[in-house]
Every structure is written in structure tokens, then in C-alpha cells.
Amino acid sequence: MALILFDFDGVLADTLSDMLRFAQEVCAELGIHRIVTPADLDALDTMSFVEYGKQLGVPPPLADEFANRCLKKFMQKPSPPRIFDGMAQVIEQLSARHAIGIVTGNTTRTVENFLVENGIQKYVGAVFAVDQPGTKPEKILMARRQLAKFREEVYFVGDAVSDIQAARSTSIKSIAVSWGHQSTEKLISAEPDYLVHSPRELLDIL
């Protein structure tokens, strides 16, 4: 048995179009004249809405406002984002042998709506989201204390360099996914323990 921690955006949920659209809308609201592209997400060293705003030219004093407005747009979206093909089945199969948690820069409400919509909420032990205190590494440690009660091996599945770094800083295994918000080349440069190209490949590792 192991503890499998998943990032949300770009790993479980296909939120790329929402990330681009909401950021574009908030830039316009804040008077920032910038065309938002996927390259802006790929360029991030730390995958967070605050850093995303700074990448787009939002002045640092307005970066938190940028993040809050983007997160609010996610929560107000009429329907949750699409789940990546095959991921629901993989979560279900993994949960039969392992504990599952989510550590994310999105909100608890957005993630929980997504889990309910896709019928996988019963497989997830806990969600550690941006509206809870702590950095991503601190939330990984929280998740390990709460969900890995017998010192099970822990894996973090993410789509960003900062996910790989967070796993390394907490002495757990990192699994990078190539279908998320950062390029395969950038992920490889961060030296993840594993790199997968489809959800079903997770079953081979785990």
C-alpha cells in the first residue's frame, strides 16, 4: 500500500483553456494589456496563480488580487472542468490498494465539485487546497501525517517543475505527467523520478 497525492489542474482536470481564459479576463479587468498563451504557464518556475499573474505583467502588489479573481472565476463556473480520459478509472483502481489525496493550488470548492461531478469523491481521502494554510510542501507533509498512517511510501503526481521540487523537498517520489500545463522538456529538466504520458501508465508504476 502507498499514499498517492495528485495535483489537480493539468493532472486530474483539463483546465488549460480555463486557465488561459480566466487569466485573460482578469488581466483586462486590472488594466494589464497582455495576450495570455500556454507559454506563460510553461515559463513558470512555481505553478501558482500569484506567480502566473506576475508572469503576465501584473504588478506584485496586485498579484494576490489577480489570483483571487481567477480562483473566484473557477468557483463560479457553471460546470466543473473535464476530467482527463481514463483518469476516473485509474483513480478507482488505485484506491483499491492505495490511499488517495489531492494537493492543489486551486480551491477546495472547485476540486470537490469536480470530484462529485465525476463520481470519484469516495476514492479521495482528503483535499489540501489553496484556501488552507501552508505551502505545497507543507501540505504534502500534512497529507502524509493524515493519510499515511503506517509510514507507507508516498508519491506526488504533478504537471509542473514546482511539483517535482515539492516532492523532492519532502523526500517522496515524484511522478510527472506530460499532458499538463508544462512541457515534457521542462519536466525532464527537473529530473522527476518517473514521467508518464497517459493516466494508465500510473498503474504500471503504482
Instruction: Render pLDDT for 5-28 as a digit per residue (tens, 0 to 9).
Output: 999 999 999 999 999 999 999 999
**How confident is the model at residue 30, as a pLDDT?**
97
**How confident is the model at residue 152, as a pLDDT?**
82
pLDDT band at 127 (very low <50, low <70, confident <90, very high): very high
Any idea where the domains of the chain sit in the sequence?
A: 2-14+80-205, 16-76
**How confident is the model at residue 149, as a pLDDT?**
76
Per the confidence metrics, is the pTM higher than 0.85? yes
Q: Give the Cα separation of 192 and 7 in Å (integer).
A: 15
Considering only CA atoms, which of 197, 194, 153, 149 is closest in space to residue 174? 194
Q: Give the Cα separation of 191 and 68 in Å (integer).
A: 31
**How confident is the model at residue 150, as a pLDDT?**
75
| Position 171 pLDDT exceeds 90 | yes
**How confident is the model at residue 144, as a pLDDT?**
94
| Position 91 pLDDT exceeds 80 | yes
The CATH T-level fold of domain 2-14+80-205 is Rossmann fold (3.40.50)
| Position 50 pLDDT exceeds 80 | yes
Q: Per residue in 102-126, pLDDT tens?
A: 999 999 999 999 999 999 999 999 9
Kindly provide the residue ranges of all beta strands, DSSP E only, lying in the chain, ordered along the sequence.
2-6, 13-14, 82-83, 99-103, 126-128, 153-158, 173-177, 194-196
Q: Per residue in 57-79, pLDDT tens?
A: 999 999 999 999 999 999 999 99
Considering only CA atoms, which of 98, 111, 103 is closest in space to residue 149? 98
| Position 40 pLDDT exceeds 80 | yes
Q: Contact at 8 Å (CB) between 148 and 33?
A: no
**How confident is the model at residue 151, as a pLDDT?**
77
% of the chain at pLDDT higher than 70: 100
**How confident is the model at residue 197, as a pLDDT?**
98
- The chain-wide mean pLDDT, for the chain, equals 96
Q: Per residue in 134-161, pLDDT tens?
A: 999 999 999 999 998 777 899 999 999 9
% of the chain at pLDDT higher than 90: 97
